[in-house]
Amino acid sequence: MSTKSKDQHARVSYLYQASQLLFRNVQEPTLSRHYISTAKDVSQKSVMRIHPDIKRTICKGCNSLLVPGKSCSIRFEEPSRKNPSIDRVLWICKKCAFKKRFSDKSC
């Protein structure tokens, strides 16, 4: 990993952690969304992938942090007829109503 990519990775990590802190402790969701948006821009410009665990906590519609009970609601969907063994979890953003579906194994 080059020095430039390490710096970009550290910057994205810092922005994500700062947005979590602002959202949970300071109750500043607007600034938190701005930091998430900036972190996504930095990762796209440097062609760096964001870890899937981090992606799962960000709304694609409004760049809000998805915190169960505060900024999103979680529902369990009925198993499909094609794959009855796979359970689905539905995360719904309270700000923009964007829906994210995950298999139960990935959450």
Question: Is pLDDT larger for residue 64 or for residue 5?
Answer: 64
Number of domain units in the chain: 1
Between the alpha carbon of residue 106 and those of residues 14, 22, 87, the distances in Å are 24, 26, 10
- Is 107 annotated among the ligand-binding residues? no
- Is 72 annotated among the ligand-binding residues? no
Q: What is the pTM of this model?
A: 0.82
- What is the per-residue pLDDT for 65? 94
- Is 93 annotated among the ligand-binding residues? yes
Residues 63 and 71: beta-carbon distance below 8 Å: no
- Is 62 annotated among the ligand-binding residues? yes
Segments forming the whole domain that contains residue 41 = 3-106
Instruction: Give pLDDT tens digits for 55-94.
Output: 999 999 999 999 999 999 999 988 777 777 778 899 999 9
- What is the per-residue pLDDT for 105? 60
Instruction: Give pLDDT tens digits for 28-42.
Output: 899 999 999 999 999
